[in-house]
Amino acid sequence: MSEGGHPDVILCPGGPMLLRGDHVVQDADGVEHHTTRPVSAVCRCGKSSIQPWCDGTHKVLPPKLRP
Amino acid sequence: MLIPKGRGSLSEALFEGMRTNRSTFTDVLTTLADDDADLHISLWALYEMHYRGFEDVDDSLEWHPELIELRRSLESTFEQELRDRQPEVEIKEPFAEALFDFIAGHDGASLAAFVQRDATTEQVLEIMQMRTIYHLKEADPTAFVVPRLSAGPKAALMELQYDEYGGGSPVRLHSALFVRGLEAMGLRTEYGAYIDDVPVEVLHDNNAMSLFALNRRLRGASLGHLAAFEATSSLPSRRMAQGLERLGLAPEMIDYYTEHVEADAVHEQLAVRTICGALVAEEPWLVPDVFFGAFTCLDLEDRFARRMLDEWAA
C-alpha cells in the first residue's frame, strides 16, 4: 500500500532501488537480509561490495553500465 | 563543554564577557577580529549557544540582543565570502541528475583516499580529532531546518533524520557510534573536546552548517549542503574503513565508517531526490541556493583536506 507521494519502492535512475519499511531481501546466493533502517537502498548495478545493499559504486561506472 | 580559548582580540573579549555574564557587550561589538581564526572561533561559540551551550556561560546569553547583533555581523561577512567563492553554475534539468552531476563534477582533494593508502596512525588520530567537531553533533544543524519546510520536504527530511538519530535508539545514533569509535581509539569523547586544536578550516565547515541551518531564508542552502555531504560520503567512507583496517585500528571506528557506506548510499538518494527534489518542486526559486549550499560543502571540505595534506606534505 502506498499513499500519494510516498511510494513503497522508488527506482532511482542510474542508481539503486529504494525500499521503504521493513522487508526481507534474498540475495543472489539465497541468503536473506533484513532491512534495518527506515529506507534501504537495494543494489541494481550488481557491483556493490555489500550486496544486496547499494554502496554507491554505480556512480563510478560508465553511464551505459548503470541501471 | 567549557567556552573555547580565544584566538585573538575579538574572541578573547567576547569569551571573557560571556564567562562573566556581562549585561552589555557594546565594547565587543566595536572590536574587530584580528584574523579569520579570531572571527570564526567567535562565531562558532555564538552558534554553539543554540546547540548545547557552555558549562561556564549562562544559558540566557543565547538570546542577548548584542550577541545576536554580533553574530549577524560576523555571519554576514562569512556568507558573502562563501557566495563570492561560488563559480557561476548552469543549472540543467532534470533537477536530481543535475545536482548529482554537479557534485560528481567537483574535483577536490580527498582525505579518505590518503587514509586508505598512505596515512599513519598518528595522522588518522589527528583527523578523528578534527572530525569530532561535526560528528559529535551529526545531523543536528539540519534538525533546525525541519520546522521551516512545507509538508513534502519536511516529511522527507525527517525520514533521513530518523535514520541519523538511530531510528529512535540512543545507541544507534550516528554520533553515538562515533563516540564508541573514539573511546576504542583512546580519544576524548566529550562534545567540543578538541575545539582549541582544530584549524580554522574545521570552523569554516561547522559555521557554514550553522549559518545555513539557523537562517530560515537559507533553508535551500542547508539542504543543498546536506545533499552534497551525503553524496560524497558513501565511497569515501569505504576508503576510510579500508585505511583503518590497513592500520589495524579499532573495529568500533571501522564500524562507524562501514555503517556510513550503507546508510549514505540511501541518504544521498533521499537528500537529492526526495528532500531537495520536494523542496524545489514547492519553492523553485530556491534552486540556486541548493546549488550554493552544495558547492559550499564541497569547497570547504576541499579546503580542509588541502590544509591537512599540506601540513603533512602528503
CA A26 to chain B, closest CA, distance in angstroms equals: 17
Mean pLDDT of B90-108: 93
**Banded model confidence at residue A1, pLDDT cuts 50, 70, 90:** very low
Q: What is the mean pLDDT of residues B109-130?
A: 96
Contact of B97 with chain A, judged by CB distance below 8 Å, is answered with: yes
Cell triple for B309: 595534506
How do residues B197-250 score in pLDDT, each as one tens digit? 999 999 999 999 999 999 999 999 999 999 999 999 999 999 999 999 999 999
Cβ <8 Å between A55 and B261? yes
- Cell numbers for B269: 538518494
ipTM of the complex: 0.94
C-alpha distance from B159 to closest chain A C-alpha (Å): 7
- Residue B202, classed as helix, strand or coil, is helix
Distance (Å) from the C-alpha of residue A37 to the closest C-alpha of chain B?
6
Q: What percent of chain A has pLDDT over 90?
A: 84
| Per-residue confidence (pLDDT) for residue A3, from 0 to 100 | 59
Mean pLDDT taken over chain B? 96
* Cβ contact, residue pair A40, B266, below 8 Å: yes
Residues of chain A contacting residue B104, judged by C-beta atoms under 8 Å apart: 59
The Cα–Cα gap between B208 and B299 comes to: 11
The dihedral through the CA atoms of B276, B205, B182, B46 has a sign that is negative
Q: In the numeric block, which cell numbers belong to residue B36? A: 579569520
Q: Which domains does chain B have, with CATH numbers?
A: 9-85 (no CATH), 95-311 (1.20.910.10)
Provide the 10 A C-beta neighbour count for residue A13.
Answer: 11
Q: What is the pLDDT of residues B159-197, one digit of tens each?
A: 999 999 999 899 989 899 999 999 999 999 998 999 999
Q: Distance between terminal CA atoms of chain A?
A: 25
Backbone angles phi, psi at B145, to 5 degrees: -80, -25
